[in-house]
Amino acid sequence: MTTEIKPFRVDVPQAELDDLWRRLAAVRWPGQVTGAGWSRGVPLAYLKDLTEYWTTSYDWRATEKRINQHPQFTAAIDGLDIHFLHIRSRHEQAFPLLLAHGWPGSIAEFLEVIEPLTDPADPADAFHLVIPSHPNFGFTGPAGAGWDAHRIATAYAELMAALGYDRYGAQGGDFGAFIAPDLGRVDAEHVAGVHVNAATAGFIPFGGVPEGTVPTDAEQVRLDRMNRFLADGNGYFQMQATRPHTLGFALADSPTGQLAWIGEKFHDWAHPAGSIGAEHVITHAMIYWLTNTGASSAQMYYESVHTTNRPTPSQVPTGVANFAEDIAIRRFAEPLNNITHWSEYDRGGHFAAMEVPDLFVDEVRTFFRTIR
């Protein structure tokens, strides 16, 4: 069966932008406990400043133009029109690589790294890039129930086959670090290597450290970081994993609510905290808002908790990058993954391709040199 692939361009109707500006102008601000800083969530002053930038300085049409500089398509797979960027290097022998974003990310996470990955100084480092918007995210749009990482990976295996890539790699962070390893499992015959950053499930002991295990000092630092997150930072996870529909009403109706919901993560998960600029944060808020996927993207958490597709050990060579705030621990990653590369960095946070594109590009090149 042939997969239908059609060209795509981002072209948001002006009426939708006008509606957004109207809603932003009519925002109703909540009261807050004074002096709380970030301890109770997003501070009012922070969101007011972001919203002011959004309404007076941000240019969506410029963002649209930047995205549209790259060839885009939709592929009819499993009942969806899956949106993706497909940037072929001018070097014909370039290695095909699928880049998988996370939450609250999007294809915009990778805009800074497209050029250096596809057109490096050394042609031996060149990649052909495929960058999908996941089902329930971005320009793929709401997709309904059942789209866990395994199903998404299966769809991406079909996509890569439809594009004619018989041997390729997969890279992902956050939820992309669920999808990329699963792609290696469902399409091991064709996936030459998997690389992840911001890795959690399958790379850390979410269920607790096995009895009798004595962590090293470095491991304990990461375990403490994980436990702080579980105690104080995962309210969003619980909400999206249990009641995504309830949350969805607020995200679909209020652009400032959408901005607060993801803006907190762009602030807290960066390294150092707050180092991601307003332009990047608002671009992501715009993509979620204009595609009405704030609510549907939350389904990824529900599906990950309720799925029956549990990962099995993979033999595909796997590389792991730990940026400054990442929490993956090698000994807990090895049972499910064939770890052949492990890196540690003291810069960069959860959104490495956006925060430290130089490190991200060097890391991806280094790993995939070993399996091209």
CA dist 252 → 25, 125, 266 (Å): 17, 42, 19
Closest CA to 140 of 296, 299, 19, 304: 296
CB neighbours (10 Å) of residue 266? 28
Closest CA to 195 of 347, 337, 357, 325: 337
288 is catalytic: no
86 is catalytic: no
Closest CA to 120 of 327, 358, 301, 349: 358
Question: Which residue bears the tokens 């004619």?
Answer: 164
Query: Based on C-alpha coordinates, what's the Rg of the chain?
Result: 20
350 is catalytic: yes
Residue 2 burial (C-beta neighbours within 10 Å; 0-12, 13-18, 19+): exposed
Residue 207 burial (C-beta neighbours within 10 Å; 0-12, 13-18, 19+): exposed
Marked catalytic residue, from 156, 236, 288, 301 = 301
Q: Return the structure tokens found at 58.
A: 């941000």
Marked catalytic residue, from 174, 182, 187, 326 = 174
Count, residues in the chain = 372
Determine the residue type at 43.
P
Marked catalytic residue, from 128, 150, 267, 350 = 350
DSSP 56: H
> In this structure, are residues 170 and 190 in contact, taking their beta carbons and an 8 Å threshold?
no
> In this structure, are residues 182 and 170 in contact, taking their beta carbons and an 8 Å threshold?
no
Q: Round to the nearest angstrom and report the end-to-end CA distance of the chain.
A: 29
Q: Return the structure tokens found at 296.
A: 């549907």
**Residues 6 or more apart whose Cβ sits within 8 Å of residue 201:** 178, 304, 311
**Structural element, H or E, at residue 317:** strand 317-322
Q: Return the structure tokens found at 188.
A: 């091991």
- Separation of alpha carbons 322 and 203, rounded Å: 11
**Triad 25, 51, 228: Cα angle to 5°:** 135
Could you list the active site residues?
174, 301, 350
